[in-house]
Every structure is written in C-alpha cells, then in structure tokens.
Amino acid sequence: MMAQIQKNNDRLDLAPKKFNMWIFIFTSFMFFAALTSGFIVYSGGRGHGLNVIMPDAFKYSTAVIIISSITLFLASRAAKQLQFAKQRLFLWLTFALGVAFFAIQVYAWYVLTYKMNVYLTDPNASRSFVYIFTGMHLLHIIAAILLLLNTLAGTYKNIPQVRNLFKMEMTSIFWHFLGIIWIYLYVFLLLNQN
C-alpha cells in the first residue's frame, strides 16, 4: 500500500517537469524556425545565397544522429523490460554517438573555414548562418549529452523504476527532437546551398 502511494506521489512530482520539457521543446522549435526565417528574409531580399556546397561531414553527422536515436530507443525498450545492463549499454552507445556527432560537426566547421574559405564573419552574411544554425544546435546537443549522462548515472543507482523510466522518457523526448531539428536544418541548408 505504501509503495503504491509513493509511486503515485512520484508520478505527481514528475508531471510538472515533463510539462517544462515540452515548453522548452516548443521554444527551441520556435527559435530554430526564427533562425531559418531570418535566413530566408536576408538571402531572399538581397539575393545573397549560400553559394557553397555543404561539407560531406554534415551527411555523416546526420547518419550518426539517426543511429543514436535508434540506440536510445533500444535503451528505452530495455528499461521497460527491466534489462538494466542492456539499458546502460545502449545509453553508453548513444553517448558515444552524441560525442561523435559533436566532433563531426566541429570538423565540418574546420572544412568550411580552412578548405572552403567560409567564415563566421563572411562578407556574405548568408554564409554566417551555417555557423549560427550548427552552433546553436551544438549547444542543444551539449545539453542533451548532459541529460543523457544524468539518465545513465541513474541506472547505476538504486532509483525507483518510475524515476528511471521518467529519466529515459525525458532524455528520449529531447534527443529525438534534436535529431529531427538537425535533419530539418541539414535539408534546409542543402536546399539553399546554391
């Protein structure tokens, strides 16, 4: 009886946190929509396109973030099936893929800057948007990696299963959202690269 009351209290305590996550997701979506709208207004009104082919590194980072969504899904499924060792394994894989995504994006900046002569302070400000889009996304990725590490740490502690599943759900919502946002940004950049 007491365990059931505690479980219900845990669910009530966690509901506002989930609502806050959805508010954050909505504001992040609006932020990226505003960035892409700003690019459209600037480049369309002045005839300044990117005039640069996107580095292949962006293609590879897209594949990495898609695979990381799959590994996080597998971690969530393992958590629901009480397979905690498997959950940890897939969380570690997701973490490694998140770090790889970050590193590939930074490498793409290197390619843009040193091999393609595209700079953050480029006279064609449309090109600066590539750094702004990817930089703001990388800030969100850092937050997602920290959230992922918090979830991973919870699997090593003796936390109630309701909290374990909640952490997995919050991490999954944010991580999958960032995957969708990256695909949106990448396709947007591809469509505007000329």
* pLDDT digit string, tens, across residues 91-135: 999 999 999 999 999 999 999 999 988 888 877 778 888 999 999
**Nearest alpha-carbon partner for 92 in 118, 72, 112, 119:** 72
CATH number at residue 142: 1.20.120.80
Length of the chain: 194
Q: Is the pLDDT of residue 13 over 80?
A: no
pLDDT at position 11 is 55
Q: Is the pTM of this model over 0.85?
A: yes
- 56: pLDDT strictly greater than 60: yes
| DSSP conformational letter for 54 | P
Of 87, 97, 90, 98, the closest CA to residue 156 belongs to 87
Structure tokens at 158: 């003796």
Question: Is 78 in contact with 84 (CB distance < 8 Å)?
Answer: yes
What is the pLDDT of the chain when averaged over all its residues?
89
Domain count, the chain: 1
- CA 59 to chain CA centroid, nearest Å: 15
Are the CB atoms for 134 and 113 separated by under 8 Å? no
* pLDDT per residue as tens digits for the range 120-179: 887 777 888 899 999 999 999 999 999 999 999 999 998 888 899 999 999 999 999 999
What's the domain range around 145?
2-191
